Amino acid sequence: MKTIAVIGGGITGVTTAYALAKRGLDVTLYERHRYPAMETSFANGGQLSASNAEAWNHWSTVLKGLKWMWRHDAPLLVRPAASWHQLSWFAEFLGAMPRYRDNTIATARMAVAARQHLYAWAAEENIEFDLKRKGILHIYHDKAGFDHAAQVTRLLAQGGLERRAVTPSEMRAIEPTLAGDYYGGFYTDSDASGDIHKFTVGMAAAIERLGVRCVYGSDIGRLSADGRGVLVGARGGATYDGVVVCAGNGSRRFGAMLGDHVNVYPVKGYSITVNLTTPESQLGAPQVSLLDDATKLVASRLGQDRLRIAGTAEFNGMNRDIRADRIRPLVDWVERCFPDVNTRSVVPWAGLRPTMPDMMPKVGRGRAPGVFYNTGHGHLGWTLAAVTADAVAEAVLRDSRR
């Protein structure tokens, strides 16, 4: 039986280990934290959102970044750094702009396919993760935003996703708790939301039942491949027939060790979890997941007593600091859009989304024999993980039969 090491215990690593184990491979998973899902997979926005598949490689994104550069509470904030990594990433981002249309369609297609894998795995392993299959409502404050969304909707349709325009009155019928004035919205009833941390922890338990060895607390210092196997330098080192790098922002470093250019950049996002401690808050919080395009914020109801608000994009290197001036706009948004929700109990969080310059995850072979990647999913790791895990596991299986 072929032996495979998986590097990383977040959503992509755990689902990859699961897909490999289900194919009968001998799998060992390495995670530097004591537990799975402790970084980017800990407290994201919760959306399983094929409707958010639009690539960022568009001139409107560039203009917003320049416009908001000195605004500390901006939805998109670039903190210029004299680093080759940041400069090279932005250069590749601009170079990928001609592929904006094709990449948006391809991402939508992957996101639609990912749902069936994720739902099937959760059902098979009996994982409870606050899943709500009530769709996602995108809300727009002006005609310009709504018109751009209409163009995106046509691209998503080519990727197999249906969503429909809705009027302000239809928006309130879909989510009666939503307050404020809006130009219109788009509703994707096939989208869903759920708790990524609960799902990943549940899958981590499932892979152990399948025989995967999970080595937690292992900060791997080196990886090397010599054509005969892959050496994982953790706890004295061990050699495997192959490796799948699912290490999030660490994938760039591991890729360099293995001779591959994996230019992931840590795009920082913030979230708050509002504890719905009163009956009024529970009644006043939304049941349908939302995305406010102007503020780049999403909202997801997690069970009876939690509301997750997340979003923004900050280019600030590996900085994990939770800044009050970045959290305040999230709280303000809740109080403005859902005035009956009590914001006395709010838990802030910040995570670093591992993002490739073209907004497409790196999935598949590396240069060296036995080396594979499943990383760089950006803001869609939760949405895409199941389908990319299945794809890379199938590629590893084919390789192991040679």
Give residue 228's pLDDT. Answer: 84
Average pLDDT, the chain: 95
pLDDT for the residue 235: 61
CA distance 213 to 207: 8
Tens of pLDDT, residues 128-179:
999 999 999 999 999 999 999 999 999 999 999 999 999 999 999 999 999 9
Confidence (pTM): 0.96
Going by the DSSP 8-state scheme, the letter that residue 345 receives in this structure is S
Beta bridge partners of 346: 274
User: In the prediction, which pLDDT does 77 show?
Assistant: 82
Rg (CA), the chain: 21
* Residue 136, beta-bridge partner list: 188, 289
Residue 26 has what pLDDT?
Answer: 98
Instruction: Establish how many alpha carbons lie within 13 A of residue 77's alpha carbon, considering only the half-sphere containing its beta carbon.
Output: 19
Structure confidence at residue 5 (pLDDT):
98
The pLDDT tens digits of the residues spanning 314-358 come to 999 999 999 999 999 999 999 999 999 999 999 999 999 999 999
Task: Quickly count: other Cβ atoms within 10 Å of residue 280's Cβ.
Answer: 12
**Integer Cα distance of 123 and 163 in angstroms:** 26
Residue 375: its H or E element: strand 371-375
Distance (Å, rounded) from C-alpha 80 to C-alpha 257?
27
pLDDT at 402: 73
Per-residue pLDDT of the chain (402 residues; tens, 9 = 90+): 799 999 999 999 999 999 999 999 999 999 999 999 999 999 999 999 999 999 999 988 888 877 776 777 778 788 777 688 999 999 999 999 999 999 999 999 999 999 999 999 999 999 999 999 999 999 999 999 999 999 999 999 999 999 999 999 999 999 999 999 999 999 999 999 999 999 999 999 999 999 999 999 998 989 999 888 999 986 668 999 999 999 999 999 999 999 999 999 999 999 999 999 999 999 999 999 999 999 999 999 999 999 999 999 999 999 999 999 999 999 999 999 999 999 999 999 999 999 999 999 999 999 999 999 999 999 999 999 999 999 999 999 998 777
Which pairing describes strands 289-292 and 47-48: parallel, antiparallel, or unpaired?
unpaired
Tell me, what DSSP letter sits at residue 380? G
Q: What is the pLDDT of residue 234?
A: 61
pLDDT at 272: 98
Write down the pLDDT at residue 208. Answer: 98
Q: What is the pLDDT of residue 47?
A: 98
Question: How many whole angstroms from its chain centre is CA 68?
Answer: 24
User: What's the full length of the chain, in residues?
Assistant: 402
Q: Which amino acid is at 280?
A: E
